[in-house]
Structures are given as structure tokens and as C-alpha cells.
């Protein structure tokens, strides 16, 4: 479980601004479920999805996502993991493989989180950001993710990752604009 609490170069939860926000979100809340809900809703509702808002810069480090208030789903999941870990709540990164245009190939990875809640165990949450057709919520034990699987080639990757996949980090680190990322979304082999 310690792996899902670690401070890393990507999930840099010991950053002073992340720690301050984590404390603020935990204030007057009791138990891991209430704190996790507050962290989830804050990231979902206050960090703009880079593609939805056509926003730069491309962020990947949790502290940069907070600083610039934008990120792709992957980056938003890094910030959410950092806020949860700063509150001593184990948090993992998860991925789905989804159709880019909701009509089959091509496919890409979508980033989300799993949080360990004492009452429920591992529970997946998706702070991607709501919009028309997307209504992700925190309602344990029932998952309400941003996207449901629709096609045979889509899938939930079962692994809980303590660190982002290399394919995801590479796309976020080598592309300079939100549009560059959109044109190079990461995928994994079938």
C-alpha cells in the first residue's frame, strides 16, 4: 500500500501548494470518504480539461496542473492522486482504452484514478471533468465514470499503477500544445 502513498517526480504531493490545498479540502471533513469526495470534486470541477478548453501549457506534474489549472485526463489524475496522498489516502492511476471518436478505431488511453476507501476497498473515480454527455460522480460503492465501454477493442486495464504509464508521460512531455497531444494520444497494443 505504501507505493500508493509515495511522493514522486510526477505525483509531487509534498509541494507546498498541493499540501495547502489538501489541508483545506480535508478541513471540517471526517473520514477518508468525505475527504476523497472533496478532492475528487475539486479536481473535476476546478481544473479545466486541456482539450475541452483548448488550453496550454501541456501539464504532467501534479504541481503544474494545480499551478496552471489545466490538464488532460492523465494530468488531472496525477493531481488527484497527489491531493489524496497528501491526505494519507492511498491513490492509484488507472486507464481505460477507449475509441477516440466513439465509433471504433482509432483508440487511445484515458486516465483516471482508484482510491482506497476503508469501507469499500479500491474504488475507481474519474475527475476528467463533466460536460455534455459526461457525468462522472463520486458515489461509492457504485462507480460512475466519465465513459462506459462500448466496443470490443475497448477495455478497462485492470492494473492499479503507482506511477503513470511511460506511454502517457512521453506524450505529455514531448508535445508542446494541447493540439499536439490531441493528435498524438497514447495507446497500447491490442
One DSSP character per residue, the chain reads -GGGT---SSS-TTSHHHHHHHHHHHTT--HHHHHHHHHHHHHHHHSEEHHHHT--S---SHHHHHHHTEE-HHHHHHHHHHHHHHTT--EEEEEEEEESSSSSSSEEEEEEEEEEETTTEEEEE--S--BTTB--EEETTEEE-S----STT-EEEEEEESS--HHHHHHHHH--SHHHHHTT------
Q: Domains plus CATH for the chain?
A: 2-182 (3.10.620.30)
- For 103-161, how does the pLDDT look when each residue is reduced to its tens digit (9 = 90+)? 989 999 999 999 999 999 999 999 999 999 999 999 999 999 999 999 999 999 999 99
pLDDT above 90: residue 189 = no
Amino acid at each position: 500500500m505504501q507505493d500508493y502513498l509515495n511522493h514522486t517526480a510526477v505525483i509531487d504531493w509534498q509541494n507546498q501548494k498541493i499540501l495547502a490545498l489538501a489541508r483545506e479540502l480535508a478541513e471540517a471533513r471526517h473520514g477518508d470518504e468525505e475527504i476523497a469526495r472533496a478532492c475528487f470534486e475539486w479536481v473535476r470541477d476546478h481544473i479545466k480539461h486541456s482539450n475541452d478548453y483548448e488550453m496550454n501549457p501541456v501539464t504532467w506534474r501534479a504541481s503544474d496542473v494545480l499551478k496552471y489549472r489545466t490538464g488532460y485526463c492523465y494530468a488531472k489524475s496525477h493531481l488527484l492522486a497527489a491531493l489524496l496522498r497528501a491526505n494519507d489516502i492511498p491513490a492509484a492511476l488507472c486507464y481505460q482504452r477507449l475509441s477516440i471518436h466513439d465509433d471504433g478505431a482509432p483508440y487511445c488511453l484515458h486516465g483516471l484514478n482508484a482510491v482506497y476507501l476503508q469501507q469499500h476497498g479500491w474504488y475507481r473515480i474519474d475527475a476528467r471533468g463533466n460536460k455534455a454527455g459526461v457525468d462522472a460522480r463520486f458515489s461509492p460503492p457504485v462507480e460512475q465514470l466519465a465513459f462506459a465501454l462500448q466496443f470490443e477493442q475497448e477495455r478497462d486495464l485492470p492494473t492499479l499503477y503507482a506511477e503513470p504509464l511511460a506511454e502517457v508521460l512521453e506524450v505529455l512531455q514531448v508535445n508542446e500544445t494541447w493540439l499536439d497531444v490531441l493528435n498524438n494520444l497514447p495507446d497500447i497494443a491490442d
